Every structure is written in structure tokens, then in C-alpha cells.
Amino acid sequence: MTTQVTLRRLTLSDAPQLQVISETALGYPFSLEETEKQLERCLANDSHFLIGAVDETDQVIGYVQAQIYEAIYSERGLNVLGLAVSLDHQGQGIGHLLMEELERQALEADLAFIRLNSGSHRLEAHAFYRKIGYNGDKTQVRFIKELR
């Protein structure tokens, strides 16, 4: 059975569902308290696009988060920071709906492109992105240095 889905801007009260979806669908274990703190910061920042897919009871079942990407060597665009759909609702077109809405909002904001990174092991995600029109244009290695 397919769920009736509505898209809307995320709110702070969505944090519990976002925390669960981020952990189960993306593998990011992050506490509810930290999720609330980060969500509050992002909601207060106009450079963040935060779109939720909600079911008939207004519970978040998927989300996309993107941030304006600005560099001195590029036009302005969006960088997708996360796209996730709850495990129970995957395969119903919700990720596609979220990305279509993100594209609509990006065009409305006169942004030139949407880019994203996807882990090399996430082959199903790569197939999904190709299917909805995204091209893999390079291979990278991520470097990180923990500061605290």
C-alpha cells in the first residue's frame, strides 16, 4: 500500500523522526538532543533548504537537506547534505518527490545546479540518482580531521 505524502518545510518538532530516519536509513547515530540543536541552527539559516515528506498523520517519513554552495570558482548551486526515507517507505517514490521539490526550489532561488556526494558502497543510491537525472562526474576521497 502506498502512503499519501505531503511535502513541507521541516520544523523543530520533527527532530525525533529525523533522528530515527538519519540513523536507520543513513547510518548516522546522533542523539536526539544533538539533532534538535543542529536542526534549530539550520532552520535559522536561510542558506539551508529543509524539506520533509510527511504521511497522513504529519509524521516525517523522509527528508532532504541541502545548503547553498558558493565558491569563487563556480556559480551558486545547492549541495545536498542528506536525503533519506524511512526504511518502511522506501521504494514508493518519496525520494524522487523530495528531489523534484528541491529542484523546484533551487530554480526559484535562481541556483545553477544541485550536487551531492554518495558513498562508494551505496550502489542502490547511485542507481537512484542516475535514474532521476544526476550524473556521476568524479571520484573523490574524503579527508577529515577531528578538532575535538
pLDDT digits (tens, 9 = 90+) for 38-78: 999 999 999 999 999 999 999 999 999 999 999 999 999 99
pLDDT digits (tens, 9 = 90+) for 97-147: 999 999 999 999 999 999 998 887 887 888 889 999 998 888 877 788 899
How far is Cα 118 from Cα 142, in angstroms, rounded to an integer? 11
In this prediction the pTM is: 0.92
Nearest to 133 by CA among 114, 109, 108, 148: 114
> CATH number of 6-132: 3.40.630.30, 3.30.2350.10, 3.40.50.720, 3.30.110.30?
3.40.630.30
